[in-house]
Structure 1
């Protein structure tokens, strides 16, 4: 692997790659290239999880790469912030000015500089390698990257010991599958293939989700609980498992910690109490417990597939903890087709320190800024509590003006004339409109990268299929060149992508096999916790966490009500969740015309009862509002929404909305119980007809 191999030169060829997007599937890709042009992207049939198929979004990747609005040259702002007015400049002029501005700030206080990035690419190299080294060298503020999975991840860590669980392929052998907080058909397509295999074998599939999603349509049963009540449902299930002795006593005695305390707590949650909190019937709680609990005696294999929607509420971390406890109660871990999976990312031997080089901080401990509270943080003045005001912001792999909560404050912060903002991007997004400089970044078809996954256990390699378009550069190259312009001389800031790809896993993954095949399957146990051996301090499934107790928190998981619980406000009587629109992925693909056409326009799903009470008909323009702001969109009257809950499908770019906003105008910056994550689905609103 050398620099000379970085582009395909054959007149017609297929190049192995990996999907970079924030999805559990992390598909292996084949890109067909003719005369240097990518003409087709398809799933790699040799990769068992991808099996030759891709979602609609990524199959349109050439349309995204060759989009006529692609940014291909550095741009400098010439109009007011937010106006989107820029002029083309040279790379040298842009980097020289950026370097001078950052150097001036860093001389006074490097913590006034903040990186802002997330999962625009999940690549280990183009994500946080040279960029992390650059900011560590400066001593810039640290970004808490919490916006997707922090609450659930911490919940797993304090129960199972890490972001670990079942291997996804063994769901095909399960007899009962609870799909909990996941629209798998839209957001985890290849898991759905395994679940469908199980269904054809006679498995029972149950969907637990406030929204009657496309996945719920295909399951045997749908339980439409209220947002943020998943922990209460898990406690109600535990109550029934205990009362009916649907328990694996041997597994509980040998391989769990804190069972008696959890048992006492669960017995306080009879079905009637759990049902009242969840907005369902006691019979639904009892019936679900009966199906799940019966597996302990009849030899069936019970599996739970969680996803991240259920943890985007105040009690999200505790909810994940409670659900992750359930398999141990019935001994589901004894077989490879039983247990739970939320994330498999903890199985990957990523050499994070080698990639990011925290040693470059040289003993400094910069302040941390939570990416979910960027609206408030950009508006804060310097103080002893919070440190210096943020003076410079470098955004890459993210679109915070569209995706961060309480976006009116985010916009206000980005609009500060004294805030120096640099955005690495493919397109002129909502965030790029507020940049002082936009730097053109390569897409996945144009650079090297290495990937882990959080829905399976295969490491993947991405080869560049085509040369970078225009003057676009990989993130790594942009930060290498910026480091040189700033006179930063540590050799690690100039490591090339070939070296970084090898450093990502070190000797823990056979890199020659990655090069040859595009993927390597990790050597992980088929039934990881059949005999305990959890990666917790005790080696057991920790119903009670000593680590949480030492922090002054409840060591036992419990139901934690929403910040904005359903039925708690007469002014805002509707709970709102904002699941992703099927044809977008977060704010990516929103400007791909074929996908935008398929999606139509920003929508709010309303139950017929809620719509009728407000005089709203299907297709009407409505105003969705609360104390944080208002958002206009079209109403879709549908039983996909349960009564009392509306579904604001996202995340559209603000500039494509009916009144220049999107659903995050309404979401709050409050954080979760564990992990300091965002609470997007913990949101009360009212809806009114817009009279033309």
Structure 2
């Protein structure tokens, strides 16, 4: 028996340290949380606790395969690695010869968050080819850009200090599902007298565990934050000393919110009483420390970037950034700025002027893009056939007979059914990797626990071999994973060997980390928190924060709202992580079947009873689900927990048949939750 320290690879802020027990035959037989990790503290979430079921799944892809049937039928034959790589190399070279390298599009995201298996040799390979660049903005970019133009980076409250807070806002985050390792720190604060307020359209597990739940209308978060500022400035509760020392343009913000964001006006936008805004603003401004945990749901609207910009400035208005346990947190990613990502990805290998295609608009890229058209698609660490918006268009593109598609995968997903070649990739237990967190402050090393199953290979090795097949002989395309690890860590105050030995190392940012206390350096052009931001203007936003209504709303498109009066949001199901784990039988059993939560006020006039099969539709498409009539969701809003593999649902569809390819006001992020629909009995 041996116990190996590993790291959860999935797209979650917690980036858990895990202990894998391997028996004498080399088989992993147990996984548990690592009790020695200061943040993740020895427990795993519902999903990753089943990781061995996923690793040893009966349907795991273990050999290369080549398509034999029509695209979408999912019919393949077994192939050797030599045959598969020779075919891929020949077809990619043919595309380059006929259409140029920009007719090749890589498509990847966060199937693994590992730096080596997620963004190393793959990037070097496609950059060396001169392939189209992928704008990877489907998840976090609206909020990231909002923080960048305001604070110059993505830093926030040290999550290990949250237990010191006396008032906590969980804003657009279902913490118990999507960030569970923060909860022990929240519970510590609560045990010490803190009040927990959850702002979410749905009464989630987290809302039920909080002291208060404020069910804001989807997409109205920015207006609510600006109205809180109205009350704070109106009643003289701002921290004038902090604003004058640390911010630029606060007077303009004060004037705007006092003029435009009175609670009586904003209450109608948010569908709450004015007294709710008044009360919360007063408590926020008069309690110290106060902490706001943002997450990514609230930015998946047209005005998502503006919403994050506004909310993130609340601690600047009250000076909460000065307090241990105070401030705001969306991501800790900016804290890892000493990582040498340029050495890892080698963007310098990409020819100047190479076009960029936004991953949210994959359907458009595959069906409308020309000059040149996309003729080859290489998918890894992603399942766009399930998760990309406007699925009707995505599938239409994947069906093209003239599109050559390669998929690196663990399973035959919705996307894999449309592949010409399937390549078996290793799971996290079968390769080494490096991980940076976006919900805590630790750099982490994943040690391989077991040998690769079947003929599976790490992503990095697949692209290394493919580069050799295509006669790309630059030395950076032959470097080992360990060499790349040393390169990316070259700017860190510790070595790879030290990280291997310890498993995880906290960044040297001080303890506690107070990134925006008075006197701290703010990495903006002015050296201050830029409430008035010329960089925001350059990216298409107003100089000052403002409320941007959802694209699909009565405010922006009254006619559309009459035809499709219900706002659909499709947050992560508790048992899934995006489309990962949907095929794990025990977790799918826990999830049940695709459902639609609908309030009785909306269900009754449509003749919808609990348990009825319903069709959810708009002009983009439709899907079916079982109705759950509940007061967990506010009237006018329906909720479809996601993301189901379409082929594992009754009608071969999922919520992304209704979602839009529109992108956010800043950062070109996806607008999954900016989605008006109608519902009828099936």
TM-score bin (small chain):
over 0.9
2:425 match: 441
Q: Please point out which of 499, 519, 525 is paired with 2:504.
A: 519
Q: 1:364 Cα deviation (Å)?
A: 2.4
SS at match of 2:151: coil
Q: Distance in 2 between matches of 1:260 and 1:667?
A: 39
1:94-109 to structure 2, matched below 5 A, reads 94-108=84-98, 109=100
Are 1:292 and 2:284 counterparts?
Answer: yes
SS at match of 1:570: helix
Q: Please point out which of 366, 376, 398 is paired with 1:378.
A: 366
Q: Distance in 1 between matches of 2:553 and 2:315?
A: 28
1:555-574 to structure 2, matched below 5 A, reads 555-565=543-553, 568=558, 569-574=561-566
SS at match of 1:373: helix
Q: Which runs of 5+ in 2 are unaligned?
A: none
SS at match of 2:562: coil
1:49 match: 39
Range that drifts further, 166-175 or 423-432: 166-175
Q: Distance in 2 between matches of 1:211 and 1:655?
A: 27
- Pair 165,633 (structure 1): closer, same or farther in 2 beyond 3 Å: same
Are 1:538 and 2:504 counterparts?
Answer: no
Any conservation in 1 of the 2:541–2:665 contact (CA below 8 Å)? no
- Pair 440,173 (structure 1): closer, same or farther in 2 beyond 3 Å: same
1:320 match: 308
Q: Distance in 1 between matches of 2:562 and 2:537?
A: 37
Any conservation in 2 of the 1:32–1:39 contact (CA below 8 Å)? yes
2:201 match: 210
1:58 match: 48
2:218 match: 227
1:528-607 to structure 2, matched below 5 A, reads 528-531=515-518, 532-551=520-539, 553-565=541-553, 568=558, 569-607=561-599
Alignment TM-score, normalising by the size of structure 2: 0.97
Any conservation in 2 of the 1:621–1:689 contact (CA below 8 Å)? yes
Q: 1:373 Cα deviation (Å)?
A: 0.4
Q: Which runs of 5+ in 1 are unaligned?
A: 1-11
1:19 match: 8
Q: Distance in 1 between matches of 2:493 and 2:8?
A: 19
Are 1:332 and 2:323 counterparts?
Answer: no
1:87 match: 77
2:22 match: 33
Runs of 4+ in 1 over 6 A off after TM superposition: none
1:73-152 to structure 2, matched below 5 A, reads 73-108=63-98, 109-152=100-143
Q: Distance in 2 between matches of 1:226 and 1:448?
A: 44
Any conservation in 2 of the 1:450–1:504 contact (CA below 8 Å)? no
SS at match of 1:624: strand
Q: Please point out which of 352, 368, 389 is paired with 1:405.
A: 389
Q: Deviations over 1:300-353 (max 9, x none)?
A: 201100000000000000100001111011110111211100000111122111
> What is the root-mean-square deviation of aligned Cα atoms in Å?
1.0
Q: 1:566 Cα deviation (Å)?
A: 5.2
Are 1:368 and 2:356 counterparts?
Answer: yes
Any conservation in 2 of the 1:240–1:286 contact (CA below 8 Å)? yes
Q: Distance in 2 between matches of 1:16 and 1:494?
A: 28
Any conservation in 2 of the 1:509–1:520 contact (CA below 8 Å)? no
1:429 match: 413
Any conservation in 1 of the 2:290–2:326 contact (CA below 8 Å)? yes
- Pair 552,407 (structure 1): closer, same or farther in 2 beyond 3 Å: closer
Any conservation in 2 of the 1:125–1:504 contact (CA below 8 Å)? no
Q: Deviations over 1:217-236 (max 9, x none)?
A: 01111110111111100111
Are 1:484 and 2:468 counterparts?
Answer: yes
Any conservation in 1 of the 2:155–2:515 contact (CA below 8 Å)? no
Any conservation in 2 of the 1:226–1:566 contact (CA below 8 Å)? no
Any conservation in 1 of the 2:8–2:18 contact (CA below 8 Å)? yes
Q: Distance in 1 between matches of 2:29 and 2:58?
A: 16
2:267 match: 275
Q: Distance in 2 between matches of 1:651 and 1:671?
A: 19
Q: 1:121 Cα deviation (Å)?
A: 0.2
Are 1:184 and 2:171 counterparts?
Answer: no
Any conservation in 1 of the 2:153–2:523 contact (CA below 8 Å)? yes
Q: 1:509 Cα deviation (Å)?
A: 4.3
